[in-house]
Structure 1
Amino acid sequence: MNFYFRLCEQALYSTRQSNSHENSHAISTRLRTFYFIFMTTIFTVVTLLPYRITALSKLLTTNTAKMRSCSSMALEWTCYFMVFLNASMVIKLCQVLLLSACFVSIQCACSWDSCNPVSNDPKMINVHLVPHTHDDLGWLKTVDQYYYGSVSRITRVGVQYIYNTVIQELMYNSSRRFSFAETGFLWRWWISHSPQDQDKLRQLIQNGQLEMIGGGWTQNDEAAAHYVDIIDQMTLGLRTLTDMFGDCGKPQAAWQIDPFGHSREMASIFAQMGYTSLSFARLHYAERDVRLKNKSMEMIWNTSEDLKTSLFTGAFYKYDYNPPDGFCFDVTCGDDPIQDNPDLGDYNAKQKIDQFLDHANAQMTNNIMLLMGSDFHYTDANMWYVNMDKIIQHVNERNINVTVFYSTPSCYYKAVQNYAQAQKLTWPQKDDDFFPYANRNHSYWTGYFTSRPAYKGMIRDASALMQLTKALGVMGNLGQNDTAAIQLENMASGLAQHHDSVTGTAKQVVTYDYQMQLHRGMFQANQIIGSFLGRMMAGDNSTSPNPVNANLCFIANETVCEASVNNPSFQVSVFNTRSRWANETIRIPYYFGNATVKGPGAGNYEIKKSFQIQTLTKSSTQYAPYELHFQVQIPPYGFSTYSIDSSSSKDSVRARKAHKVLATTTMENQYIVLTFDDSGALSQLKDKATNQVHNLQQQFMQYFGMDDQAPWHQPSGAYIFRPNASDPVDLGKPTHAEFSDGPLVKEMRQQFGSWIYQTIRLRMDKPYVEFDWVVGPIPTDAGFLRKANTSREIVTRYSTDIQNGDMFYTDSSGRQMLKRQRNYAPTYTYQNTEPAAANYYPLTNRIFIKDDKSQMTVLLDRAEGGTAHAGNIEIMLHRRCFFDDHYGVDEALNEPGKDGKGLVVRGSHYLVFGDPKTAASVHRPLAVDVFHKPVVSYLAKGTNTQAITQYSGLTASLPDNVHILTLEKWTDSSVLLRLEHIFQSDEDDQLSKPVTVDFGKLFTTFDVTSVKELMLGANRNATTSQIKRMLRVQKGGTIYAAFNFEKNFSDVLPTEPHANSDIRVGNQLENPASSRIKHNLV
């Protein structure tokens, strides 16, 4: 027996001499299992002797994919068997391989456990060739055009062919590696291919040749994407990978190589999901210069002061994620291949290898990662691998201090970590973020913070709606059809977070496709709400209730609602996805002059004559002449149903008219007094809580963009903000103003010329001022002495007497607040080449300024760009650019709108004044409320709502500082729950404290009996996963990240979206209105 073992070992070694970089760990693993396989073979051969060879051949053909449970390992095992058996038995032995496949696959290792050996000798340089492709889910073509390779006049690539050819090349040579990132494309390939093809891909991942990196549904943007959307799209992608590939489908390397700047909160999310590293390409050109000089391109990024988490982060040494110059071997490239036969013409091997070795320098460790690939590369993977094989062969033959081999991002960072520990290196630290991004001195990528503002608003609405439908799926225990509808909604929302989607940087026709898919996803909410209400209203009378015909008004922001236009009486169910009671005043389009509102907790109601916004009224014949405002009380994670009747009665109210402003006007509620001058312009705010009076002005202003002229040829465009002056031009005071009074809502309505309208609104019992603005279409004529078709960027500016100097604060992806300073950069010397653009930052949901006595916070209903000066906040609302900015889109940002004359956009800001010590107690919960606005669903006439008019999914409101971040059905027997502490640790004396939540008393429709806590991405068990992260520790070691539940209680820390809970369902819910079920939080 030992003799055969030695013969096989020698035979395998001889086949490996030509490839010095085979994974020694994998070889030793195979040899250790040989004895077991050998004995299994002897037994099986005897068993198979009676069978006909032809039958075995047929079976072998049928099961080829299964035989390759570890790709090339099938051939290596055949080597072993042929040593001791004659050739006539080969077919029988191949069948043995099939029967032994399960044993062989156990020995396969994920890519991070199958890394090629590297040297920690500082004199040796390890060059990691990382083959990869960056595949945008839409940009110049739609996501499906990119997948299929259609519309080839734009670019002749197809993602389906990339997967096909990469798989073929990896199976040809087991030493080769590859890394895929975008799960949304992988899913398309997966559902379009046979189980045999799926097995091939699965085998390559399970034997370590192919690594999934990033892992999100898409590679999301980090400036305009909200943290809730980021977590959702990451979860969608990670779950898909786990379902397909098991543990090897749980990425360890975060991969954000194309977004245009990077947020601290995004890095914090990765850290909480258990990633070991983060890679990206884009950082400010001045910071890149400093880091290259200091050899600090790799660093420890301190991602959260509250959670004390950090993440090892590496910026690429090139300014992009492309191959080294001269080494792009793609069909879309023009570089020469390596011609290494001296007997043939154009021999260039020596020159090419010398050129390649020039890239092996100036690193902090002795490991270098060279990216071999770029946008949609590897349509013909053979071209790449033939030439990379030659690079590896010819460099390693020189026997110098450089060794080259195939690698993956996780293997590279693993080698870097090991070297740093061996050499006792200390990594540089990073505390801020990577905004704003500029790749040269007049090219600041700060325009996309605002580009396509209507679409940005649509994305935010879709996200909030999806949180509702996912929760209804849990509380209503909805069936497969509804679950599939939620999944469609989830995929559409995930796609919208792509770094060329939510950013507004795709072509117009691609943006239409994004909008279509998002609307299709949002439309599923009608079905989900209808199914849920059907269950609620059936009571105990039916186990298979009929769904209710329920409809949302998707264009209510245009004062249009098709669901109520011809209905003098109707019912609405108003939903609340907050973790507390919602006491709100709802505003809906209304078509009648009288109204009576009845329902749970119904309070005051009033009708206002609609503000005649000409840019909206002329675009629709169904523009509602009135708006109905009525008070609602909605339980946490619940709904209340209200009936509205237009017939005249003793309880009905009539429409109120607005009056033209001719003198100084004041309006107030319990918290605020606002003063307006005789033009209707805002002039003063009094804070009743502090009794402080502040000067407060709001102005609309505009920047004029640079054109496409020498010497820089850098105009404003989809990506770039480059005005032709440092300060915007004031658009003046209102040209018309009217005041509308009322018991619930008071409004100052303003018009500025013919294309800007605004309503400044005070709601009763609300401590904020709402600015409801309508901008557009931005004129193409820029006025006297200016060229026609001059780009314009419209801003609003809130000016007050706060003494903030140059300091202001902006959010990071909607969660952490970061301190900013004008004309300053913490990690490089600020260069004043673009005074306006260089001081713009992404505002996902808020910005504030403060001094010792006062703080002014402005919250947003969508992502926008903004900045601050001494005493004021400036936010960009809308852009219309007439030049392409030369970063690939190849068309101007000139949205046509409904009538082709230009886009009209409507949005809201919420302004809060207060004491800096307590300001967070208002703006933190308000940010949640703005995101989770009540959802109004219109019920079909005749719907019987008597069975239940109010429902709550929670037994009581959660504490003010805790919020249910997400709640969704995970499997037929489990539920995924995330809790979030919404305060940072130093924001409030009381509300910043940790909170304990009792799961056993949380939900009304089910009981919690056990809990399994997961990491934030829901793909790893937080209590058992050995997730090694290079965290901020004093001596440069590693620590293990884990969280623990104790009994049914969970401690939630400040600014923590708490590790996920996998809630197991004990039995099926038949009637959520009357039954409680058991859930296991395993």
Structure 2
Amino acid sequence: MMIEFPTCKLLNISYCPATEKVISVEKSLVVVAYNPLGWYQTDFVRIPVNDDKLAVRDSDGNYIATQLVEVDNITSSLRRLYVEAYLGVSPKETPKVLLTAVFFGVNPVAHSEYTSSYATMENETIEIGPGPFKLQFSSTSGQLKRITNHRTGVDIPINQSFLWYEASSGDAADGQASGAYIFRPDGAPPVPSSSSVPLKVIQGPLVDEVHQQFNSWIYQVIRVYKEKEHAEIEFTIGPIPTDDGTGKEVITRLMTNMVTNSTFYTDSNGRDFLKRVRDYRADWNLQVTQPVSGNYYPLNLGIYSTDGKSELSVLVDRAVGGSSIKDGEIEIMLHRRLLYDDSRGVAEALDEQVCVNYACEGLTDEESWKSSHVMNATTMDHGYNLPPNVAIITLQDLHDGSVLLRLAHLYEAGEDVLNSRLSNVDLKKVFAGKTIRSIERTGKISLEDFMMHLPCIIYQTWYNCISINIRCYYLQIKELRETNLSANQDKSGMKTKKWRVADDPGSSSAPIRGRPVDNTTLVVELGPMEIRTFLLKF
């Protein structure tokens, strides 16, 4: 029996019709979480709901701790179907490369852990964070003022603000305007959005939240989860006003007292981090004509700066630009609205207006579901984890029946004493031999007959007198071909060019790379930063 799951594509505005429907006593909402990594991980899940009396259980019937949190005002106004709250589900350890199901059902009496409380503003400093990681805010200005971590001993003053650069429309010396392909501020310091920020603090056993409104079109929610040592920042910006005739390029800036010697680090295509030095290029003498945009770099993963004692890191969930224009500062470009074309082929100003709507359905009966579906499923050997320095970055069925697999080494050479070494992945254990395709209840049989099927079952959530009809497919690798990164050419047929570099004596050592794969052992070896691509047939 094929089951199609609706997906919540608008969770960024807390909109998911499948979870917002009224759940009756007879029905349950099944939420399936997928862990694409090759090792166990624990994380929180936020789900929009319309009922404050819900119980959440795992596939074994055990209650999972939850916390009900009010949706912030701007998120409520963004969506057409109003949802008053979301339900924060506590961490559930999810096995590697695995699907796991949890059930939402009606609970006549709300659990005490559901509740969130509003913090009072009696003290000058308000501290949030249910674990060792803490953020402190000024109740007067509403601004972030300090980060502490009681476990690591980190304690640094910090300020976060939103500002915007006024975009250049071109001038007498240079007619180049800021546009879709060009970031060119007008040379003036960025304009702060506000000096005083209205603040609302929500606290609970699993997560603390701070809701901030910087002006009529910039809003922010900061979350600190229990036992997590980072803060999650969610911003809402726009529509950016341009009635003053000026384009605006909006940034957020984090300011600390760290002395970073003009140095910061940005990612390279989401992989390794590269050292950046303000107003400097290693390959030529840089003539600085644009001190802001000339120091901006693309961010796909993040940016960090350090003074040798502490490190401030920001990870992003989408491609943005970022820099460190002054020591101890990090700034990230979040949104742009411009009034002039930059003459790079678009033939219009970067002035987009977007409206999105989406609908989906999905409730089910819990007992019927549990009796006919696998609650947990994985292909990986249960006693095997990927090495901590290797990740599966692609696992995809192709139209010809083959499977595309990419493995990536996560560390640079010399980055870590242990994790920068060569690492091995055993594909026979990644695809351990068998997994369940479907389970269907058919009647009653003996426990002995039932137990005969267990070698083909990963997790069992129903017992004794239930007959089952099991259909399995066996994931034994019959063919393995290594290809180039794009998977459109066999590696054995590749002819790579050898380039001569000017002023290079040729003495630089070649990067460490893994050996060819033995088709009998199916062990893949990876060197630092190496990505290897394979086509598999089962």
Q: State the TM-score bracket (shorter-chain normalisation).
A: 0.7 to 0.9
Q: Distance in 2 between matches of 1:889 and 1:1048?
A: 49
DSSP 3-state at the match of 1:703: strand
2:423 to 995, 1000, 1006: 995
Q: Which residue of 2 aligns with 1:369?
A: none
Deviations 1:885-936 (A, max 9, x none): 122212111112339xxxxxxxxxxxxxxxxxxxxxxxxxxxxxxxxxxxxx
Offset, 1:982: 0.8
1:891 to 348, 365, 369: 348
For 1:522-541, what aligned pairs fall within 5 Å after superposition?
none
2:385 to 957, 975, 978: 957
Instruction: Name the CA shift for 1:971/1:552 in 2 (closer, same or farther; >3 Å).
Output: closer
Q: Give the letter aligned to residue 389 of structure 2.
A: N
Kept in 2, the 8 Å contact 1:604–1:743? The answer is no
Offset, 1:728: 1.4
Kept in 1, the 8 Å contact 2:323–2:331? The answer is yes
Bigger drift between 832-841 and 642-651 goes to 642-651
Q: Which residue of 2 aligns with 1:1053?
A: 527
Kept in 1, the 8 Å contact 2:411–2:529? The answer is yes
Higher helix fraction (1 or 2) = 1
Deviations 1:249-292 (A, max 9, x none): xxxxxxxxxxxxxxxxxxxxxxxxxxxxxxxxxxxxxxxxxxxx
DSSP 3-state at the match of 1:833: coil
For 1:355-754, what aligned pairs fall within 5 Å after superposition?
545=1, 547-568=2-23, 569-600=28-59, 603-613=64-74, 616-631=75-90, 632-649=92-109, 651=111, 654-659=114-119, 661-663=121-123, 664-678=125-139, 679-754=141-216
For 1:61-140, what aligned pairs fall within 5 Å after superposition?
none
Deviations 1:1006-1025 (A, max 9, x none): 13356433332323333454
Kindly indicate whether residue 297 of structure 2 is the aligned counterpart of residue 837 of structure 1.
Answer: no
Instruction: Name the CA shift for 1:895/1:778 in 2 (closer, same or farther; >3 Å).
Output: same
Q: Which residue of 2 aligns with 1:874?
A: 331
DSSP 3-state at the match of 2:30: strand
Q: Distance in 1 between matches of 2:524 and 2:387?
A: 13
DSSP 3-state at the match of 2:19: coil
Instruction: Name the CA shift for 1:833/1:973 in 2 (closer, same or farther; >3 Å).
Output: closer
Q: Distance in 2 between matches of 1:712 and 1:554?
A: 43
Kept in 2, the 8 Å contact 1:866–1:875? The answer is yes
Q: Distance in 2 between matches of 1:858 and 1:851?
A: 15
Kept in 1, the 8 Å contact 2:131–2:225? The answer is no
1:1008 to 477, 497, 503: 477
Deviations 1:553-607 (A, max 9, x none): 2112112222233232422111221222231110111111222100147632111
Q: Which residue of 1 aligns with 2:441?
A: none
Q: Which residue of 1 aligns with 2:363?
A: 940
Kindly indicate whether residue 413 of structure 2 is the aligned counterpart of residue 985 of structure 1.
Answer: yes
Instruction: Name the CA shift for 1:701/1:984 in 2 (closer, same or farther; >3 Å).
Output: same
Offset, 1:796: 0.5
Q: Give the letter aligned to residue 649 of structure 1.
A: V
1:975 to 403, 417, 442: 403
Kindly indicate whether residue 253 of structure 2 is the aligned counterpart of residue 797 of structure 1.
Answer: yes
Deviations 1:849-896 (A, max 9, x none): 112212211110001011102001010100011111122212111112
Kindly indicate whether residue 223 of structure 2 is the aligned counterpart of residue 761 of structure 1.
Answer: yes
Instruction: Name the CA shift for 1:957/1:938 in 2 (closer, same or farther; >3 Å).
Output: farther
Q: Which residue of 2 aligns with 1:1019?
A: 488
Kept in 1, the 8 Å contact 2:149–2:229? The answer is no
DSSP 3-state at the match of 1:557: helix
Instruction: Name the CA shift for 1:761/1:731 in 2 (closer, same or farther; >3 Å).
Output: same
TM-score (norm 2): 0.81
Deviations 1:470-524 (A, max 9, x none): xxxxxxxxxxxxxxxxxxxxxxxxxxxxxxxxxxxxxxxxxxxxxxxxxxxxxxx
Offset, 1:741: 0.8
Offset, 1:749: 1.4
TM-score (norm 1): 0.42
Offset, 1:646: 3.7
Q: Give the letter aligned to residue 499 of structure 2.
A: M
Percent identity of the aligned residues?
Answer: 30
Q: Give the letter aligned to residue 627 of structure 1.
A: Y
Kindly indicate whether residue 519 of structure 2 is the aligned counterpart of residue 1062 of structure 1.
Answer: no
Instruction: Name the CA shift for 1:859/1:598 in 2 (closer, same or farther; >3 Å).
Output: same
Deviations 1:218-266 (A, max 9, x none): xxxxxxxxxxxxxxxxxxxxxxxxxxxxxxxxxxxxxxxxxxxxxxxxx
DSSP 3-state at the match of 1:564: helix
Instruction: Name the CA shift for 1:670/1:1054 in 2 (closer, same or farther; >3 Å).
Output: farther
Q: Give the letter aligned to residue 352 of structure 2.
A: E
Q: Distance in 1 between matches of 2:423 and 2:529?
A: 12
Q: Give the letter aligned to residue 566 of structure 1.
A: K
Q: Which residue of 2 aligns with 1:60?
A: none
Deviations 1:46-103 (A, max 9, x none): xxxxxxxxxxxxxxxxxxxxxxxxxxxxxxxxxxxxxxxxxxxxxxxxxxxxxxxxxx
Instruction: Name the CA shift for 1:713/1:802 in 2 (closer, same or farther; >3 Å).
Output: same
Task: Specify every segment of 5 or more residues in structure 1 that has no aligned partner in the other structure, as ranges.
Answer: 1-544, 782-787, 900-936, 1066-1082
Offset, 1:1003: 1.9
Q: Give the letter aligned to residue 210 of structure 2.
A: M
Kept in 1, the 8 Å contact 2:262–2:327? The answer is yes
Larger of the two Rg values belongs to structure: 1
DSSP 3-state at the match of 1:878: strand
Instruction: Name the CA shift for 1:733/1:993 in 2 (closer, same or farther; >3 Å).
Output: farther
Instruction: Name the CA shift for 1:658/1:1010 in 2 (closer, same or farther; >3 Å).
Output: same
Q: Distance in 2 between matches of 1:629 and 1:740?
A: 13
Kept in 2, the 8 Å contact 1:667–1:674? The answer is yes
Kept in 2, the 8 Å contact 1:722–1:837? The answer is yes
Q: Which residue of 2 aligns with 1:775?
A: 237
Offset, 1:708: 4.3
Q: Which residue of 2 aligns with 1:813?
A: 269
Q: Which residue of 2 aligns with 1:918?
A: none
CA RMSD of aligned residues (A): 2.7
Kept in 2, the 8 Å contact 1:841–1:866? The answer is yes
Q: Aligned pair count?
A: 473
Q: Distance in 1 between matches of 2:47 and 2:331?
A: 30
Q: Which residue of 2 aligns with 1:42?
A: none
Q: Distance in 1 between matches of 2:249 and 2:120?
A: 30
Q: Distance in 1 between matches of 2:19 and 2:154?
A: 44
Q: Give the letter aligned to residue 224 of structure 2.
A: L
Kept in 2, the 8 Å contact 1:552–1:938? The answer is no
Instruction: Name the CA shift for 1:754/1:973 in 2 (closer, same or farther; >3 Å).
Output: closer
Kept in 2, the 8 Å contact 1:704–1:791? The answer is yes
